Amino acid sequence: MNIDKKNIAIVGVGLIGGSLALQCKKKGISNHVVGIDNNPLHAEQAIALHLVDEMLSMEDAISKSDVILVAIPVDSMITLVPKILDLIDQQIVIDLGSTKSLLIDKVKGHPKRSQFVAAHPMWGTEYSGPTAAVEGAFEDKSVIICDAQDSSDEAIAYAKLLFGNLNMRIFEMDAHDHDLHAAYVSHISHITSFALANTVLEKEKEDSAIFEMASAGFESTVRLAKSSPDMWTPILKQNKDNILDVLNEHIMQLRKFKSCLEKENWEYLHELMEKANQIRRIIH
């Protein structure tokens, strides 16, 4: 897909923003990538790692850019995105946060709302900061564009070209539906991982035993527990109601396994695991 090269500003040059900067340069999506970050160390690292061409203030970056991509924690999004919309002229603004409803409600009615696209690339790792940026990120991953009908045709067309050139699979979804499904397939996974890590740290007092005996299964399950609390606390806060719903179901499922073990109900235990195997139909 051909895409007009535009000057791009990336607010937040951590894992998502830094990886996006790398890909925009590698794929020729932009000739000039500007970074904005209020963390001086991150700003220094982004330049040293050649993630961006320069670091500027918000006002200067916006004045020099055609597109502003926002990749910061979702609590900061609520405050910052409306301020960015206040500053733009003809630019397009695309956010990359993990929750959508609260932000979209916040910008509803803004005079520049049509120049804003709410998007969620379904990719990430347990690491954070500019040093976590990954070349080749987003390849063959999904991206959800929410409430596209409230964005201009031009803004949506550019967003789809951008994500298409990153080789992402593009889907459109209502913001409230997005947050519900994100709770089921993403947010609960992080809570489970954090809880499992705390369980093991509480019960297993020998670090060496954890290190020596941790299998690939344990490592893959607990990997997300290394994720940044600064990023995930606001996500869980904003999507609290949906997460509580899926968390209650998850706790009920855990109680079923617990009951099987307590009552030595091996037949039902086998049935529970057999039912879980049906996930193979969806995830190979």
- pLDDT tens digits for 40-52? 999 999 999 999 9
Identical topology for domains 8-173 and 178-281: no
Whether 220 has a pLDDT exceeding 90, the answer reads no
pLDDT band at 90 (very low <50, low <70, confident <90, very high): very high
CATH code at 178-281: 1.10.3660.10
- Of 52, 56, 48, 115, the closest CA to residue 82 belongs to 115
Give the pLDDT confidence score for residue 217 in this predicted structure: 76
**% of the chain with per-residue pLDDT over 90:** 86
Tell me the one-letter amino acid at 70: V
pLDDT band at 1 (very low <50, low <70, confident <90, very high): low
3-state secondary structure of 22: helix
pLDDT in tens, 162-185: 999 999 999 999 999 999 999 999
Task: Tell me phi and psi for residue 2, to 5 degrees.
Answer: -75, 140
pLDDT in tens, 106-147: 999 999 999 999 999 999 988 999 999 999 899 999 999 999
pTM of the model: 0.91
Q: Which residues partner with 143 through β-bridges?
A: 121, 170
CA distance 124 to 157: 24
CA distance 226 to 145: 27
* Domain range annotation of the chain: 8-173, 178-281
Residue 151 CB neighbour total at 10 angstroms: 24
Whether 284 has a pLDDT exceeding 90, the answer reads no
Whether 248 has a pLDDT exceeding 70, the answer reads yes
Residue 109 — left, alpha, or beta (φ > 0 → left; ψ -120 to 50 → alpha)? left
What CATH superfamily classification does 8-173 receive? NAD(P)-binding Rossmann-like Domain (3.40.50.720)
Mean pLDDT of 222-241: 95
Whether 205 has a pLDDT exceeding 90, the answer reads no
Residue 153 CB partners (closer than 8 Å, separation 6+): none
Residue 28 CB partners (closer than 8 Å, separation 6+): 5
> What does DSSP say about strands 142-146 and 92-95: parallel, antiparallel, or unpaired?
unpaired
Residue with tokens 């996500």: 235
Task: Tell me phi and psi for residue 90, to 5 degrees.
Answer: -105, 5
